[in-house]
């Protein structure tokens, strides 16, 4: 029992240190801010991309494993890897963006995300979105939640240069340059190993958010040493 209590105290101290040190917070979008596909199937989106490839006679561009992933981001990356910068990649990326935009209407806000963002911003900390989703999608969602002023113009996401997707740190580097922030004065909040890898490469401290134990395990196995299952502890620290 004592060991568990000490572990909890250490985790709280680590979280408090991360929050108090951050002058800039880089948020991943789908996960820490909302569940984009909470009411709209990402699997259907992936199947739609596969059907588009089939209609062009290009079904073989993706492997069976890639098709079975039912992950539109994996499919998009796979096609770009084999035909980088092609018109086909541009068409698939725009198709995915339109599907993501449709999904914003049924996206589920992550518990405490709105108030954590607003509270942190009110304390003078600057915010940016660094996501593999389209920046148009993040902006549409934030507009709907009246959160866009918290981020100003600092929304950095997927472009048609798909080799810049995380785990490449490109969007984090763009945010840091635009905000004139040093990596060690920033904090990234992400929910995937690729977020952690991008933050590590960029030299940015990382806080993992996981909506369940399975996702928490993936983050800790990737190397993240501070992972929360809720954003509520952040709010409690910010309000202290």
Domains in the chain, number: 2
User: Residues 174, 76: one domain?
Assistant: no
Spatial contact of 155 and 129, defined as CB atoms under 8 Å apart: yes
Q: Is 112 within 8 Å of 211 (Cβ atoms)? A: no
How far is Cα 30 from Cα 37, in angstroms, rounded to an integer?
Answer: 8
pLDDT at residue 240, rounded to an integer: 85
Instruction: For residue range 170-191, list pLDDT tens digits in order.
Output: 999 999 999 999 999 999 999 9
Task: Looking at the structure, tell me whether residues 46 and 138 fall in a common domain.
Answer: no
Kindly state whether residues 25 and 99 are assigned to the same domain.
Answer: no
Q: Do 116 and 172 share a domain, yes or no?
A: yes
Nearest to 138 by CA among 171, 111, 162, 116: 171
pLDDT: is 7 or 24 the higher one? 24
Sheet harboring 206-209: ordered strands across? 155-156, 126-130, 24-27, 186-190, 206-209, 227-228
The verdict on 141 and 228 lying in the same domain is: yes
Shared domain for 181 and 76, answered yes or no, is no
Same domain, residue pair 137 and 101: no
| Res 1: pLDDT | 52
Cα 194–20–151 angle (5° rounding)? 60
CATH value at residue 166:
3.40.50.1000
Rounded CA gap, 132 and 147, in Å? Answer: 19
**Residue in 133, 146, 143, 105 with CA at minimum distance from that of residue 192:** 133
pLDDT digits (tens, 9 = 90+) for 64-121: 999 999 899 999 999 999 999 899 999 999 999 999 999 999 999 999 999 999 999 9
User: Which residue, 84, 105, 126, sits at the end of a domain?
Assistant: 105
What is the pLDDT confidence band of residue 210, given thresholds at 50, 70 and 90? very high
CA 172 – CA 24 distance, rounded (Å): 11
Left if phi > 0, otherwise alpha if psi is -120 to 50, otherwise beta: which for 181?
Answer: beta
Instruction: Examine the fold and report which residue of 105, 135, 157 is the final residue of a domain before the chain moves on.
Output: 105
Q: Residue 3's pLDDT is what? A: 45
Q: What is the pLDDT of residue 85?
A: 87
For 31-59, the pLDDT digits (tens) are 999 999 998 889 999 999 999 999 988 88
25 forms bridges with which residues in the sheet?
127, 187
Residue 186 main-chain phi, psi, to 5 deg:
-110, 170
pLDDT of residue 40: 85
Q: In which domain, by residue range, is 221 found? A: 2-36+108-239
- Segment 144-180, tens digit of pLDDT: 999 999 999 999 999 888 999 999 999 999 999 999 9
Rounded Cα gap, residues 7 and 27, in angstroms: 26
Over residues 184-209, mean pLDDT? 98
Is it true that the peptide bond before 167 is cis, omega within 30 degrees of 0? yes
């Amino acid at each position: 029992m004592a060991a568990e209590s000490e572990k909890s105290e250490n985790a709280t101290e680590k979280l408090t240190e991360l929050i108090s040190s951050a002058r800039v917070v880089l948020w991943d979008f789908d996960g820490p801010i909302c569940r984009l596909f909470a009411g709209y199937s990402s699997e259907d989106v992936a199947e739609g991309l596969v059907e588009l490839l089939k209609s062009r006679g290009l079904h073989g561009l993706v492997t069976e494993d890639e098709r079975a992933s039912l992950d539109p981001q994996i499919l998009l990356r796979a096609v770009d890897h084999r035909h980088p910068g092609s018109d086909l990649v541009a068409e698939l990326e725009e198709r995915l963006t339109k599907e993501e935009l449709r999904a914003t209407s049924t996206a589920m806000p992550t518990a405490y995300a709105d108030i954590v963002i607003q509270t942190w911003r009110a304390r003078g900390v600057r915010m940016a979105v660094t996501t593999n989703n389209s920046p148009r999608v993040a902006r549409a969602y934030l507009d709907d939640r009246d959160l866009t002023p918290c981020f100003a113009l600092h929304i950095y996401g997927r472009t048609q240069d798909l080799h810049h997707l995380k785990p490449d740190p490109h969007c984090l580097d763009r945010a840091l340059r635009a905000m004139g922030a040093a990596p060690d004065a920033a904090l990234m909040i992400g929910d995937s190993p690729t977020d952690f890898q991008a933050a590590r490469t960029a030299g940015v401290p990382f806080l993992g958010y996981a909506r369940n134990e399975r996702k928490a395990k993936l983050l800790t196995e990737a190397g993240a040493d501070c992972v929360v299952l809720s954003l509520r502890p952040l709010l409690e620290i910010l309000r202290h």
